Every structure is written in structure tokens, then in C-alpha cells.
Amino acid sequence: MAEAKLYRMSMPKHLCPFGQKSLHLLKSRGFEVEDHPLTTREATDAFMREHGVKTTPQTFIDGKRIGGYDDLRAHFDMRPAKPEGTTYAPVIAIFGMGLALAIAVTWVALGSFLAWQTIGWFISISMCLLALQKLRDVEGFTNGFLNYDLLAQKWVPYAYVYPWAEAVAGVLMTALLLTWVSAPLALFIGTVGAVSVIKAVWIDRRELKCACVGGDSNVPLGFISLTENLMMAGMGLWMLVRLVA
């Protein structure tokens, strides 16, 4: 069995998560691990001075220092734990959860897994989840939103209103309540958003990050952002037509 040495911080008030991940990764790859927990700040500093490193954990295989957790993953030809650059992972997770919840609500409310109303619930629940991402860091969201939204650029407070408007519309549409409020609201913010994205991406040819899932994402502004806005606008229009029909 292959052997490895692992030095990781394991203090009463700080148990290094990357050290735990490194230990698990080594064991899962069949290594017999000689684990060396660094239980004090002094022991950690002494280890880093001795080996000329600035961080822990540190893994050694066959006497050769591999490095930290990301270095260990690279050693095993694994993708980085947190890939750099643009990614659609947050949007996929949100829409995937939105669809799962829509199917669950359909089952509870209608006794079937799929119905026409499932589409509406998928859109409204996704709106709620997207609004939640924005509301967890409103300032971060507005910093990104002001880069491309046409109305927010004319009237800054709209950037702060937007997450709440999306949340209110999403909750009311999910509950099938106050359609005369939720439908025009969704139609308005969705239409403004769609026009803003089209201008920024396809007319001005700007490469921006989308604020749709919050202010710290690497989701590129483009088709996904346009889809979100068209879904809101389409849902609002459909509900208005049904309201007046």
C-alpha cells in the first residue's frame, strides 16, 4: 500500500477543512496516511518555517512535497475544487432545484407529477430562489446590476428595489394570489431586464458578469440572463391574459 504524510491544522478552535479533505482524498486513493495534526499555532508556524511554506495542509508522497489540497487534486489529475473563470453551475443548481420543487408542489396540489401549472410554478419558484441569491448580498448585486440594467442606470434605487420586486412577484405567483399585482410586476421587470441584456450583450458587445445569481458569481451575462428575464415577462403576460379573459 502506498504511503503518504499529511501535516494539517487540528486545533481546539480550528479544524482545517482542507486538511480533512486531503486526508479523505488520500485514503480514498488507497494511501496509508501518516497523519500529523498540528495542534497549536506555534507548532504550525514552526512546521511552515521548517519547510518554507506559507500554508497548511501539506502532503508528502514518497518523500516529495505535493502541497496543499488543490495541489493534491492536481497530482491526481483531478479538476480544481473551485474552477476559475466563467461557470454556469449556480444557474444550473437554481433552475434544477426550481424544477424539482415545482414538481413536488404539483404532486401535493394536483396529485400528479406534471401538469401545465408545473411550468408556472417552475418559473415562480425559480424567481424566488434567484431573488434569495440577490438579497443575501444586495450591495454586491447592485454593483453588478448597474453595469447593464438600463433603468437602474437612470434611477439607482431601482437596483435595490429589483430583488424585492422579483421576490414578491415570485411568492405571489407561486401562491396564485393577487395576480393583478404579481403579473404586471413580473412583466415589467422581465421586459426591462431582457431589453437591457440584449443591448449590453448583442448590441454593445460587452463582456459582463450576470448579477442574476448575486454579486459574486462568475456567470457570464448572456443567454441565461436573457432566458431568466423572458421567463418572467412571459409568465407575467400569460397571467395577465388569463386574468382579463
> Is residue 129 over pLDDT 90?
yes
- Residue 30 counted as domain residue: yes
CATH number of the domain residue 34 falls in: 3.40.30.10
Encode 218-245: b = buried (16+ Cβ within 10 Å), e = exposed: ebbbbebbbebbebbbbbbbbbbeeeee
By the 8 A CB rule, do 171 and 192 touch? no
Q: Around Cβ 55, how many Cβ atoms within 10 Å? A: 13
- The predicted pLDDT at position 223 comes to 85
Residue 170's contacts (CB-CB under 8 Å, 6 or more residues apart) are 124, 125, 126, 127, 128, 130, 131
Q: Are residues 38 and 121 in the same domain?
A: no
Q: Is 65 helix (H, G, I), strand (E, B) or coil?
A: strand
Tens of pLDDT, residue by residue over 17-47, are 999 999 999 999 999 999 999 999 999 999 9
Name the domain boundary from 51, 75, 99: 75
> Is residue 199 over pLDDT 90?
yes
From the list 217, 192, 245, 196, the residue with the least C-alpha distance to 92 is: 217
- Residue 84 counted as domain residue: no
At residue 160 the predicted structure's pLDDT band, cuts being 50, 70 and 90, is: very high
> Is residue 81 over pLDDT 80?
no
Cα–Cα distance for residue pair 111/98, rounded to 1 Å: 19
Residue 148's contacts (CB-CB under 8 Å, 6 or more residues apart) are 196, 197, 199, 200, 206, 208, 221
- Calculate mean pLDDT across residues 109-122: 92
At residue 50 the predicted structure's pLDDT band, cuts being 50, 70 and 90, is: very high
**What cell was used for 46?**
514552526
Cα–Cα distance for residue pair 81/135, rounded to 1 Å: 26
Q: Are residues 105 and 197 in the same domain?
A: yes
By the 8 A CB rule, do 68 and 18 touch? yes
- Calculate mean pLDDT across residues 176-205: 95
- Calculate mean pLDDT across residues 163-180: 95
Q: Are residues 200 and 102 in the same domain?
A: yes
- Domain, as residue range, for 31: 3-75
Total number of domains constituting the chain = 2
From the list 41, 58, 74, 56, the residue with the least C-alpha distance to 4 is: 58
